[in-house]
Chain A
Amino acid sequence: DIQMTQSPASLSASLEEIVTITCQASQDIGNWLAWYQQKPGKSPQLLIYGATSLADGVPSRFSGSRSGTQYSLKISRLQVEDIGIYYCLQAYSAYTFGAGTKLELK
């Protein structure tokens, strides 16, 4: 089974700050990687698919990148509405979510 190691588990950042969350895959998954945002009491929302493609309606301050088996989600200028929990998802073999990163305002 493919494991996704997500870090950090929690993150406190200021408004307008750059935020980066990473996921390390236990094996090659190509670009079969997505990022989700879950706000409190809500269902997850797709942000990024194919490791780097922005989903419809997602602000351009969100971006995804890949370096080998490490994947990153960057928020270029943190906004209040970005607070929540972020999950990566590998879709190369079945599906595995990362453990999540709780993003809070400093």
Chain B
Amino acid sequence: EVQLVESGGGLVQPGRSLKLSCLASGFTFSNYGMNWIRQAPGKGLEWVASISSSSSYIYYADTVKGRFTISRDNAKNTLYLQMTSLRSEDTALYYCARRTMGIGDYFDYWGQGVMVTVSS
């Protein structure tokens, strides 16, 4: 069974940093691209960042470019999101999601999400 479990969220002051983790199991993590997607309270979904299976290709949404860094450790089956210079508008539930394989670039499995609250 595919499982994605996010951790590392919490309350952080504006301008500070936070690092999220997503532990994957139930599939060969090193074969799949991975993504972070967020959802502000009561709002819709926003793609944040993507990383290819070998970390060769990395993409960011304009809203986080230069502040967030996506990375992965295939030996640990773990995806990361390093967030710096956090703003109130970064407050959201952050999901990690697996990229589909063979059917296009979509997201098939999602974690349960981890909450990040940016507030003084």
Contact = CB atoms under 8 A, between A and B. Distances in A.
A30 B17 CA distance: 39
Interface of A: 1, 32, 34, 36, 38, 43-46, 49-50, 53, 55, 87, 89, 91, 94-100
Interface of B: 35, 44-47, 50, 59, 61-62, 95, 100, 103-108, 110-113
20 contacts: A32-B105, A34-B106, A43-B95, A43-B112, A44-B95, A44-B110, A49-B100, A49-B103, A49-B106, A50-B103, A87-B45, A91-B105, A91-B106, A94-B59, A94-B61, A95-B50, A97-B46, A98-B44, A99-B44, A100-B45
Nearest to A92: B105
Given A43-B113, A46-B108, A94-B61, A53 B103 contact: yes
Given A97-B46, A99-B44, A89 B59 contact: no
Contacts of B108: 46, 55
A74 B44 CA distance: 20
Given A43-B110, A97-B45, A100-B44, A91 B104 contact: yes
Contacts of B100: 46, 49
Contacts of A34: 104, 106-107
Which one of B44, B45, B108 has the highest number of Cβ atoms from chain A below 10 Å of its Cβ? B45
